[in-house]
Amino acid sequence: MIDHFGINCSDFEASARFYDAVLGVLGYGRQMDVGPAIGYGTEGHPDFWITRWQGAEPNREMHCAFQADSVEAIQAFHAKALELGAESLHEPRLWPEYHPGYYGAFVRDPDGNNVEAVFHRARADA
């Protein structure tokens, strides 16, 4: 069900040092570092992300990505969310900057959180 989730950090450098250390002793490490975001996990799959927060305090959105089993499911997720009044953050599309086959859509839920549906095996012609 849950593919990955992330939190926003107002002191990104301190949070990176903290999570490097505490997750390291649990056997997890940095799997991706894309500048303003670091993904932690094992075997090349980042399950937990920290992101630099530059918004107003104390409210910080949370990010949660749900696994989907097809491109069509991602499109249905996005359409249903918009039907229910959600804000579209990113239309359904391939995200090759994450990895080949990454197809996702992002919406803002009623509490302001960034919610994603993701399918990891999409073809380039999706």
Helices H, strands E: what count in the chain?
2, 8
User: 92: closest CA among 84, 102, 100?
Assistant: 102
Q: pLDDT (tens digit, 9 = 90+) per residue, 22-56?
A: 899 889 999 999 989 999 999 999 999 999 988 77
Six-digit token pair at 78? 């996005």
Q: pLDDT (tens digit, 9 = 90+) per residue, 3-15?
A: 999 999 988 999 9
Residue ranges and CATH numbers for the domains of the chain are 1-57 (3.10.180.10), 61-126 (3.10.180.10)
- The reported pLDDT for the residue numbered 124 is 83
Residue reference for tokens 């249905």: 76
- The reported pLDDT for the residue numbered 87 is 95
One-character DSSP codes across 16-62: HHHHHHHHHTTT-EEEEE-SSEEEEEETTEEEEEEEE--S-SS----
- The reported pLDDT for the residue numbered 56 is 74
Q: Positive or negative, the Cα torsion across 80, 46, 2, 18?
A: negative
Q: pLDDT (tens digit, 9 = 90+) per residue, 67-98?
A: 999 999 999 999 999 998 999 999 999 999 99
Q: What are phi and psi of 70, to 5 degrees?
A: -170, 165
DSSP helix/strand/coil, 86: coil
Rg from Cα positions in the chain: 15
- The reported pLDDT for the residue numbered 116 is 93
